[in-house]
């Protein structure tokens, strides 16, 4: 467990014994998935509204509280993100907006290709799992390699586990016993306008261009 992530968990949890419905949001991965769907950097119309996600999360917590017979359940949301050198001024307004909505933010400098936040997310989940306990776990990511086995293990303990992502990129979480999959666009009011999604089973009559998920130059990395 990383010291920084443990610190975030301790600050948020305090001395409460209330179980949590924990949302951890993998910002780099979700941004990459969204960019692949729309074919570039999202505009304001296609950026997810975190206030809408927060309201949805609160509803999930209330549903689990009711299912548990009224025991104390609290919603907690944390966004995990990388900050590339020189980009702090660009990222700061977004981070401040998240914190104003009620999200904690774990920010990590992007110093190398492997400076991702997957391990920090898993560490934070373990803090919650072994302290106040999880009434529910929601992971927003399409990274099945990092999360599939840990999430299945937690689900096997009886915890409600949900994966938020895009159906085009999260086949590992769809139709899997123990995991509930929610497409991000299915959360009410999360996007101002519908995403320009094209699937092979719903092609227009005159065909459609399907943009690459990553640049060809990525083969050289």
Q: Report the alpha-carbon angle 59-62-64, nearest 5.
A: 110
Task: Count how many Cα atoms sit within 13 Å of the Cα of residue 48 in the half-sphere of its side chain.
Answer: 26
User: Domains (ranges, CATH) in the chain?
Assistant: 23-190 (3.40.50.1010)
Please give the chain's pLDDT, 221 residues, in tens.
443 444 444 444 444 568 899 999 999 999 999 988 887 888 888 999 999 999 999 999 999 888 877 778 999 999 999 999 999 999 999 999 999 999 999 999 988 877 789 999 999 999 999 988 899 999 999 899 999 999 999 999 999 999 999 998 899 999 999 999 999 999 999 999 999 887 777 787 888 877 776 679 879 87
Q: How far is 125 from 103, CA to CA, in rounded Å?
A: 15
Those residues whose C-beta lies under 8 Å from the C-beta of residue 211, and which sit 6 or more positions away, are 36, 39
Other CB atoms within a 10 A radius of the CB of residue 187 amount to 18
Residues linked to residue 165 through DSSP beta bridges, in sequence order: 183
Q: What is the pTM of this model?
A: 0.83
């Amino acid at each position: 467990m990383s010291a920084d992530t443990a610190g975030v968990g301790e600050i948020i949890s305090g001395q409460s014994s209330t179980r949590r419905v924990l949302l951890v949001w993998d910002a780099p991965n979700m941004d990459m998935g969204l960019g692949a769907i729309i074919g570039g950097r999202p505009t304001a119309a296609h950026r997810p509204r975190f206030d809408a996600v927060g309201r949805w999360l609160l509803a999930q917590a209330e549903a689990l509280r009711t299912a548990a017979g009224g025991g104390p359940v609290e919603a907690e949301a944390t966004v995990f993100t990388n900050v590339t050198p020189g980009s702090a001024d660009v990222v700061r307004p977004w981070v401040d907006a998240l914190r104003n909505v009620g999200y904690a933010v774990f920010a990590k400098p992007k110093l190398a290709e492997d400076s991702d936040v997957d391990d920090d997310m898993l560490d934070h989940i373990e803090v919650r799992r072994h302290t106040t306990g999880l009434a529910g776990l929601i992971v927003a990511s399409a990274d099945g390699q990092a999360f599939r086995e840990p999430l299945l293990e937690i689900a096997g303990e009886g915890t409600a586990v949900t994966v938020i992502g895009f159906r085009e990129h999260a086949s590992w979480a769809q139709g899997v016993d123990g995991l509930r999959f929610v497409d991000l666009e299915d959360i009410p009011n999360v996007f101002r306008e519908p995403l320009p999604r094209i699937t092979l089973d719903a092609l227009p009559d005159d065909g459609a261009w399907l943009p690459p998920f990553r640049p060809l130059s990525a083969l050289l990395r």
